[in-house]
Structure 1
């Protein structure tokens, strides 16, 4: 064989060897792809949807947070909605699994079973704290069939906990039991609305005590089925005021992203250019809506402090005021809670600081009544009490009947003033 032929043969062998090595490397690369990548994508998507809202999150945002390309993400989920649906169903699945795993003695009392069920729900919510907020406001983006599935699962979890409620005479209606267990779940879910930190076991105990305090006050619940209250808005000739009113109505019914400036202007009897005379953008209009809610709350709070003669009287009056104000302008309050992520950064920062100061003021009064609480524990309870109003208010259709307000105020007082849970 000639030297040249030997050289060609050697080159061919080297090329073949290189191809084998590259194929092996590619095979190894595939083998090294994380087996839990779909779970990581799902977790990143759930956090993004919960913290930023469904419309504001793109597929590329989720892919980037996981460190993959959009095309790699599509191998696991066909579209953004599929990830959202997965996130929405995941927590109810986790809650059902947690309740399935509860183990108590055969002769355990209903009270003991209720404690264990609540602890299972609390621990599951704590583990999913960054994503569980998706259920409060973002579930409206589910299609009808998926929303029905989520509600059915949530109702099943609710019913399982309700089985161990204290029996009353006469027996509570199914609706009353639903409201009671929903109130306890609202207290637990309140931790998704803030990022305060407590040691795990102390957080569990604070939430458990608050839930059992609500259960103890369950006899206050009315069995009356609320009807949808017809919203009556004062007729105004002020164009700026009409724009704010119609924006609130449309944002509440369809969400900020699905409402155009033209629609808001038309609803207020103006054209789009007419709206720009009052608000330079839709985002500025949303900011004005938020400041409207915050200012009304500040004024009502100041009036309570002027008339209260003791810390306990002040806290009870604040609770009554918050319920009354929230029910009277429930569309505005709903927008306030659900559209915070769509504010301009400066407005969002300012309004969140105002929220924090509001909670701090309630917590300060609460600690005068309950000095055993730490500052952080008091804030946890204030958040839990405030969270009850939009959550249970929606169940009550924001019906302004006196018995509904009384039930909510009883729940808030139970959470704030407390009743120590008995030892296991």
Structure 2
């Protein structure tokens, strides 16, 4: 399956550029980077495209065309083939979902909205498959499960291309099939919500506004004056608390890291075993996604734009979180190999991210309990919620 046009070397230029946007973020990629990655001179890029946004537009359109092709072909086959084909596409084009759901915000508003609508067609089709599999399932449960499957499809974007393609495709299909075919049942009782540690002083309020703007428009597209205007301040008023926009982003990320670390440390002291630890960590992440979705999205997406020092520190923090999750999942599921552990963990965390990203999901009835059940289902630990 091809992704866009081929250059003289037989590579897909749009796939190469999509990978650049995925790995480094649209705002940090220059036209000269695009030209270098594609193996062409800068003037060649400008002969083909009107500028960087036009390159992004072409990449997004190519990705949407591939998605439409899969949906069209799967409509002629059995329901199970839809999940399989989507999994194969997600492994082959690992930057696809980051491109459609994150980088497309840099398009013009009408193009962005159209892109998100077309990407959401996957959720609609998956929900229909689930409803046919389980007649009588509540519509909101079918939609939530469909979001879980799509979140699982985002997982290949977390892995380098050297990860074994066949093993990754198999693990992805395994988790997605479990989500679709698990019979409807009782959701686990919710864990006690963590006490909110959100500060209410002026810097924290400015940071909350900035986090929302960064997520909506991208870090590079937001000026300090935009934050000041939303906060009812002048630019000088923001600079009184934060020397630069980069310092503002660092403050937001540091605040999020501190909160996650406090929660993780508290869970780590629990001696009930790895399954309970998984469930309690998931409960804390779900609660944070519902309470502060903008902060969660900054920790997932905007950290790419941190200055070099804070970026190195955040990568170390994130690695420590992932190691803790992996240790707990291996303890609860010793039957899983390394790829299965990574895919199941990636799927669970992608569900939490989708919860933070989707306002429609967050207003569903009893969403905290149901989302927690979905995350635990990704782990494949049925008794993860039991004391």
Q: In the alignment, does 2:293 pair up with 1:321?
A: no
Maintained 8 Å contact 1:161/1:181: yes
Deviations 1:207-246 (A, max 9, x none): 1111122223463599xxxxxxxxx99894x443343233
Maintained 8 Å contact 1:41/1:73: no
Say which of 224, 245, 253 aligns to 1:290.
253
Maintained 8 Å contact 2:215/2:294: yes
Maintained 8 Å contact 2:210/2:227: yes
CA RMSD, 1 decimal: 3.2
Deviations 1:285-338 (A, max 9, x none): 201110110110010111222345122111111111110012111111122222
Partner of 1:250: 213
Distance in structure 2 (CA, Å) of the matches to 1:155 and 1:402: 20
Describe how 1:2-401 pairs up with structure 2 within 5 A.
40-101=12-73, 113-165=78-130, 166-173=132-139, 176-195=141-160, 198-217=163-182, 219=184, 236=200, 238-265=201-228, 267-268=230-231, 271-397=234-360, 399=362
Deviations 1:79-99 (A, max 9, x none): 222211121122232133234
Distance in structure 1 (CA, Å) of the matches to 2:270 and 2:203: 33
Shift of 1:270: 5.1
- In structure 2, list runs of 5 or more residues that go unmatched: 1-5, 188-195, 383-387
Maintained 8 Å contact 2:209/2:231: yes
Structure 1 residues 253, 103: closer, same or farther in 2, change over 3 A? closer
SS at match of 1:139: helix
Shift of 1:129: 0.9
**Alignment length, in residue pairs?**
368
Distance in structure 2 (CA, Å) of the matches to 1:361 and 1:70: 44
Structure 1 residues 78, 294: closer, same or farther in 2, change over 3 A? same
Mark the structure with the bigger radius of gyration.
1
Of 404-413 and 45-54, more deviation after overlay is shown by 45-54
Shift of 1:194: 4.0
Deviations 1:324-378 (A, max 9, x none): 0121111111222221221112212221221122111111111111111124431
Distance in structure 1 (CA, Å) of the matches to 2:288 and 2:145: 22
Structure 1 residues 123, 335: closer, same or farther in 2, change over 3 A? same
SS at match of 1:367: helix
Structure 1 residues 195, 352: closer, same or farther in 2, change over 3 A? farther
Distance in structure 2 (CA, Å) of the matches to 1:126 and 1:242: 40
Structure 1 residues 145, 280: closer, same or farther in 2, change over 3 A? closer
TM-score by length of 1: 0.77
Structure 1 residues 321, 157: closer, same or farther in 2, change over 3 A? closer
Partner of 1:30: none
Maintained 8 Å contact 1:330/1:398: no
Structure 1 residues 262, 78: closer, same or farther in 2, change over 3 A? closer
Distance in structure 2 (CA, Å) of the matches to 1:157 and 1:400: 20
Shift of 1:65: 2.3
Distance in structure 1 (CA, Å) of the matches to 2:68 and 2:120: 11
Maintained 8 Å contact 1:115/1:208: no
Of 177-186 and 116-125, more deviation after overlay is shown by 177-186
Structure 1 residues 128, 98: closer, same or farther in 2, change over 3 A? same
Shift of 1:402: 6.4
- In structure 1, list runs of 5 or more residues that go unmatched: 1-33, 106-112, 223-231, 420-424
Partner of 2:191: none
